[in-house]
Amino acid sequence: MTWFYDPRRTYDDNYAHGPFGPLAGPADGLEAPARTATFLGHEVARPFGIPAGPLVNAAFAAAAFRHGFDVNVYKTVRTGARASHPFPNALAVHVDGDLAADRTEPLVADGDLDRATSISNSFGVPSRDPDAWQPDMAAAVAAAAEGQLLVGSFQGTHPPAGVADREAAYVADHVAAARLVAETGAPVLEMNLSCPNEGTGALLCFDAAQVARISGAVKEAVGDVPLILKLAYFRDDAALARFVDATAGIVDGYAAVNTLPARLVDSAGRPALPGAGREVAGVCGDAIRWAGLEMTARLARLRDAGAGEFAIVGVGGVLTAAHYAAYRAAGADAVMSATGAMIDPGLGAAVRAVPA
């Protein structure tokens, strides 16, 4: 089946011509159920949808809403235009069972997507200029029906060489991005702290003090609009507790997990993705469900222990309605699926069919 974001086409081709496959068409016979949950102050039909990534513009977001994905995230934007990493970006990743967080041996990745349940994601967080994405994100916000919600995702960009106070400029860029997203009318914001394609060693989410500074500045700028932080997998439980301790009083929720990094090679052992700095890429889908479920459960334990009042968005490897239920049971207030929704565009309707 053709995926609505089609990894066999370039990012720009997807942006210009997608979505593809069944999601592009009407959703026959799908009726909105009664609103069954409250997520960050908004009543939603089902607290389920597609996380930052595959919904690259308003046409994709509108298609997702139409097909019963009720809480969807518009792909991460920046304060300035940036091109995608060269094609290909999403390859089938051949991994047996769970992908360990500390794996060092390479995995084979190729274009055999027909049976893939785990894929790579190596885009480098491309963005249009705000003049282009702001009106488009506003259209995506407007595409949400009753009981549906669009979340606007953004990310800060490091200042160019030569900028004097790099630290202040980096904080200011996050604030500027958040303001621009809030201006579109997005009712919830998500700040991506976990892009593995920007260098796995120095993910922003592993610097709790810096995140607290940035989040504080962002919240001051956007006021009451809820702010979610998108996290990578924390191997160290104490580090996660310190992170939540530093930020739970500032932000409104956490989304976990982003992709797990792995070294990807072709069948001859050469790097699977072209270009410098892409030997290690993010892997998502079936192989990382364990990590999303574990992070959800750990965040829920911290919440139960009094660490804060935050919402939890469970992400990673949700391929079926049963996986959705497992995340809810682990403590997720909302659940999202990127790879699974691409493989099965009927997943939103399937989750709606689960008794609330």
- Residues lying near ligand FMN in the complex (CB under 6 A) are found at 5, 51-54, 75-76, 90, 121, 123, 125, 153, 192, 230, 258-259, 284-285, 288, 315-318, 337-340
Min CB(29)–ligand FMN separation in Å = 26
Nearer to ligand FMN, 215 or 337 (CB): 337
Nearer to ligand FMN, 75 or 352 (CB): 75
How far, rounded to the nearest angstrom, does the alpha carbon of residue 221 sit from its chain's CA centroid? 23
Min CB(301)–ligand FMN separation in Å = 21
Min CB(56)–ligand FMN separation in Å = 8
Residue 198 buriedness (CB in 10 A; 0-12 / 13-18 / 19+): middle
Min CB(147)–ligand FMN separation in Å = 22
* Closest-approach residue to ligand FMN (CB): 53
Could you tell me what percentage of the chain is helix, strand and coil, using 3-state DSSP and rounding each to the nearest 5? 35, 20, 45
From residue 105, alpha-carbon distances to 13, 222, 262, 263, 273 in Å are 33, 43, 8, 7, 16
What tokens appear for 135 in the block? Answer: 């009106």
- What's phi and psi for 323, nearest 5 deg? -65, -40
Residue 336: its H or E element: strand 334-336
Nearer to ligand FMN, 99 or 143 (CB): 99
- Picking from 328, 302, 303, the residue whose alpha carbon sits closest to that of residue 313 is 328
Nearer to ligand FMN, 43 or 207 (CB): 207
Q: Compute the CA torsion angle 10, 128, 207, 263 (nearest 10 deg).
A: 10
Nearer to ligand FMN, 77 or 171 (CB): 77
Residue 16: its H or E element: helix 11-17
Asked if 327 contacts 292 with a C-beta cutoff of 8 angstroms, the reply is: yes
Nearer to ligand FMN, 64 or 318 (CB): 318
Nearer to ligand FMN, 123 or 170 (CB): 123
Across-strand partners of 74? Answer: 152
Query: Alpha-carbon distance 118 to 121, whole Å?
Result: 10
Min CB(230)–ligand FMN separation in Å = 5
What tokens appear for 264 in the block? Answer: 């990807």
Query: Alpha-carbon distance 154 to 191, whole Å?
Result: 5
Min CB(305)–ligand FMN separation in Å = 25
Min CB(144)–ligand FMN separation in Å = 18
